[in-house]
Amino acid sequence: MLFAEAAGPHYFVNLTLVLIMLINLALLGSSRLSVCVRLSAAQGILLSVLPLEMPEHDFWSVFVVAAIILLLKGFVFPALLVRTLRTAQVRDEVVPIVSYAASLVVGVAVLCLGFWISSRLTLPHPATSPLVLPLALSTTLVGLFLIVSRKTALMQVIGYLVLENGIYIFGLSLVQDEPFLVEMGILLDIFVAVFVMGIAIFHINREFDHIDVGQLTSLKD
């Protein structure tokens, strides 16, 4: 603690944000679906710690949100995704459209973009740490990139989760007291979404023997 106090007020916030960004880069560079599911679980756990480290939020309402995020993003979603991966019996591959090395370069480019955009944004009140806004934006963009650049349907779910994580960090920095109910509503939405997507992936796989979304382009009415 003494070390952290010497290092500045937002040491733990910055550390968590950098770890979240490192997980983004690892997601862009890893080729195994099961590894990606674990990485997104780790990101969810880090995300739940984040509001607790920001002193300006009311502790108890934040504590409940953090606990629910920890439960959902850290354990329930990964369990659902692992279950989908097992029942659909797909190969444990990401199948990228953009190569891993190029994806990492895109990750860095997106990070720079995040810093550039947030340097031009003016907020109603300053964020906790100068890193919150850029890393929120780049996490969102990494999520989007994961959705468009991977062929396996399961990666789209993970990309969606990363995207939502970015939006959540953005919300943390933008709104001092995000209404409890709104946060709960969003969490319920993504819970249902991941649940439905898991079932949909299972059925797509049973029908077509693969979950390659590239094949969707050949769908015609």
Partner 1 sequence: MHGEGSIPLVLTLVLAPFFLGVINRTKAIVGGRTGQPLLQVYFDLFKLLGKGAVYSRTTTWVFRAGPIVGLAAVLLVATLVPFGPFRALVSFDGDLILLAYLLGLGRMSTVLAALDTGSPFEGMGASREVMFSALAEPALLLGLAALARATHVLSLTEMHRLLDASGWANEGLAISLVAVALVVVFLAENSRIPVDDPNTHLELTMVHEVMVLDHGGPDFAYILYGAALKLWILGSLVTGLVVPAGTTVAVVELGVALASMLGLAILVGLIESSMARLRMIRVPQLLVGAVALSSLALVLEFGGL
Question: Which residues lie near partner 1 (CB under 8 A)?
Answer: 3, 6-8, 14-15, 18, 21-22, 25, 29, 100-101, 104-105, 107-108, 111-112, 115, 130-131, 134
- Separation between Cα atoms, residue 162 and residue 175, nearest integer Å: 20
Which residue, 79 or 102, has its beta carbon nearer to partner 1? 102
Amino acid identity at 49: V
CB of 174 to partner 1, least distance (A): 18
Which residue, 104 or 175, has its beta carbon nearer to partner 1? 104
Could you give the 3-state DSSP secondary structure of residue 54? Answer: coil
- Separation between Cα atoms, residue 104 and residue 28, nearest integer Å: 6
CB of 216 to partner 1, least distance (A): 28
Which residue, 47 or 131, has its beta carbon nearer to partner 1? 131
Q: Nearest-CA neighbor of 201 among 187, 188, 216?
A: 216
CB of 4 to partner 1, least distance (A): 9
Could you give the 3-state DSSP secondary structure of residue 33? Answer: helix
CB of 220 to partner 1, least distance (A): 37
Which residue, 5 or 221, has its beta carbon nearer to partner 1? 5
